[in-house]
Amino acid sequence: MAASEVAAWRRHAVLAVLASLAIAASPVQAQVQSKTQARKPAARATAASPAASAASSVAADYSERFRTVCAACHGANGRSDVAGVPVLAGQQSLYTVTQLFLFREGRRRNDAMIALAKPMKDADLRGFSDFIGTLPPVPAPAPGAPPDAARMGQGQALAQQHKCLFCHGDDLAGGQGVPRIGGQKEDYVLATLQGFKSGERPGYTRAMTEALSQVPVQDLDLLAYYVANLAGK
């Protein structure tokens, strides 16, 4: 995919998600704005305090709801030991809200996630995603041995060849609606790549399906190994 096509896709995905959810200022954004206003004259800071209080209350609400609804599978800090369950810690909020939207609309298949997302309103999609976006990255437990240098080299070469780093970044931390994948669980990454490759895993656009159409099936495990063992920032 050419650089101009990727840039156009990213703009389209961001605008489409924002439009479909009618996103206004989010609770987290409101908190950031309130902190900025706090540095201004006292009169303005005082005027902003109700909004700051409301934002803080909403953020606390979704923090608690994450603990009761999501943590059993995903872990209280966004990283769990449950096989096949993705790491949420450090994930981009715009990517997360897109995935919740796809689950809610039944376009992405996972019975447990569809059941959870189905009754959610747009505000819930934003609230959970904004909270997840505040979770700092959590490194994987230290492996018993360092990553295999040969496999890492092969995986890196594949990532460069197929332009993975162009969208996901050199450290695979993502951004602008593109997910953080560095340090993601290897089994989840492999299943995701296989899903995009086969067409079973939908995306908000066809960018991943088209990118993986050029990757031989036998190379997917090398890509997954490289991604999982590149912790990012």
Please tell me the predicted confidence (pLDDT) of residue 28.
46
Whole-angstrom distance, CA of residue 61 vs CA of residue 53: 12
3-134: which CATH architecture? Orthogonal Bundle (1.10)
Whole-angstrom distance, CA of residue 152 vs CA of residue 158: 10
Does 3-134 match 149-229 in CATH topology? yes
Please tell me the predicted confidence (pLDDT) of residue 12.
52
- Which range is least confidently modeled, 6-10, 130-134, 191-195? 6-10
Please tell me the predicted confidence (pLDDT) of residue 43.
47
Whether residue 23 is predicted with pLDDT greater than 50 in this model: the reply is no
Whether residue 203 is predicted with pLDDT greater than 60 in this model: the reply is yes
| 28 token code pair | 């987290």
Which candidate, 130, 123, 113, 125, places its Cα nearest to that of 63? Answer: 130
Using a pLDDT cut of 90, give the percent of the chain over it: 67
Band of residue 31 on the pLDDT scale cut at 50, 70, 90 = very low
Band of residue 103 on the pLDDT scale cut at 50, 70, 90 = very high
Whether residue 8 is predicted with pLDDT greater than 60 in this model: the reply is no
* Residue linked to tokens 């409101």: 30
Whether residue 24 is predicted with pLDDT greater than 50 in this model: the reply is no
Structural domain boundaries in the chain: 3-134, 149-229
Whole-angstrom distance, CA of residue 210 vs CA of residue 205: 10
149-229: which CATH architecture? Orthogonal Bundle (1.10)
Q: What is the mean pLDDT of the chain?
A: 84
Q: What's the whole-model pTM score?
A: 0.79
- Which range is least confidently modeled, 41-55, 65-79, 199-213? 41-55
Please tell me the predicted confidence (pLDDT) of residue 58.
80
Q: What is the pLDDT of residues 145-189, one digit of tens each?
A: 999 999 999 999 999 999 999 999 999 999 989 999 999 999 999
Which candidate, 21, 13, 23, 15, places its Cα nearest to that of 202? Answer: 13
Distance of CA 209 to the CA centre of its chain: 18
| More confident call, 187 vs 139 | 187
Band of residue 57 on the pLDDT scale cut at 50, 70, 90 = confident
Please tell me the predicted confidence (pLDDT) of residue 108.
95
Task: List Cβ neighbours of 128 (8 Å cut-off, separation of 6 or more).
Answer: 62, 65, 66, 70, 96, 100, 120
